[in-house]
Amino acid sequence: MTQDELKTLVGQAALQYVQPGSIIGVGTGSTVDKFIDALAASGLQIKGAVSSSLRSTERMQALGIPVFEASEVQSLGVYIDGADEIDHAGHMIKGGGAALTREKIVADLAEQFVCIADESKLVKVLGQFPLPVEVIPMAAAQIARRFAALGAQASLRAGVVTDNGGHILDVRGLAVTDPQAFEADVNQWPGVVTVGVFARNRASVCLLGTAEGVKTLA
Ligand code: 5RP
């Protein structure tokens, strides 16, 4: 199966976590696009969704799925999103689509994070994928120096301004062996809006698309 077919498979599989009549959290990316399409085609009636990006909002609205503001809900039963990398404990690197800040906000509202990913995303140690970090523009150079002091290389993602007006640094050369400590540390650097390590908001379930079908890692 192609990577695209694996994404379709897990997008479809995520429907089992959607409660009819509920408001769900919806992430961002090509795998989530498959989920949104599957949801619209399924006939499952939900009240609506809280979206993590303008991209997903537009896709859902075009398919007739009502979109709510995060401030309109107190909690969500489930948040469904992809990942750039996921380890066996459910820690993830996210932000390849530059939506990491809103993704973390919506994930934080949810009782359960269901990650949908093809098997290429499963890793032993996070860090092969360049780590996205959303920053306040005036802090970008100083934050890049802090990563250099850790032996990593941060580069500004050219031409990208996030939905929140931030810039994205992509950081290469990291091996994130303790995701919780790393996330907590980088979060405290002045000017960091969001670090793309999702450890505190890790996935509770991962639906992994493989050649043998969907594997559920929990
Ligand atoms: C966007 C993300 C996505 O979940 C991540 O980049 C995976 O995307 P895709 O499903 O297209 O591989 O974090 O900010």
For ligand 1, atom 8, the nearest C-alpha belongs to 29
SS3 115: strand
What is the per-residue pLDDT for 27? 98
Q: Which amino acid is at 188?
A: Q
What is the per-residue pLDDT for 149? 98
Helix/strand/coil (H/E/C) assignment for every residue in 170-211:
EEECCCECCHHHHHHHHHCCCCEEEECEECCCCCCEEEEEEC
44 neighbors 147 (Cβ within 8 angstroms): no
d(CA 113, CA 102): 14
What is the per-residue pLDDT for 155? 98
Dist. CA 20 → ligand 1 center (Å): 25
d(CA 43, CA 76): 21
What is the per-residue pLDDT for 50? 98
Q: Which amino acid is at 103?
A: E
- Which atom of ligand 1 is nearest to 100's Cα? 14
Q: So what's the ipTM on this one?
A: 0.98
- Say yes or no: CB of residue 85 within 6 Å of ligand 1: no
23 neighbors 217 (Cβ within 8 angstroms): no
- Give the DSSP per-residue string, 67-90: EE-GGG-S-EEEEEE--SEE-TTS
Dist. CA 143 → ligand 1 center (Å): 23
pTM of the model: 0.95
What is the per-residue pLDDT for 11? 98
- The DSSP element (H or E) to which 40 belongs, if any, is helix 30-42
pLDDT of the chain along its 218 residues, tens only? 999 999 999 999 999 999 999 999 999 999 999 999 999 999 999 999 999 999 999 999 999 999 999 999 999 999 999 999 999 999 999 999 999 999 999 999 999 999 999 999 999 999 999 999 999 999 999 999 999 999 999 999 999 999 899 999 999 999 999 999 999 999 999 999 999 999 999 999 999 999 999 999 98
SS3 25: strand
Is 124 annotated in some ligand binding site?
A: no
8-state DSSP, 121: G
For ligand 1, atom 4, the nearest C-alpha belongs to 82
Per-residue burial over 183-212, b = 16 or more CB atoms within 10 Å of its CB, e = otherwise: beebeeeebbbbbbbbbebbbebbbbbeee
118 neighbors 209 (Cβ within 8 angstroms): yes
Could you give the residue numbers annotated as active site? 103
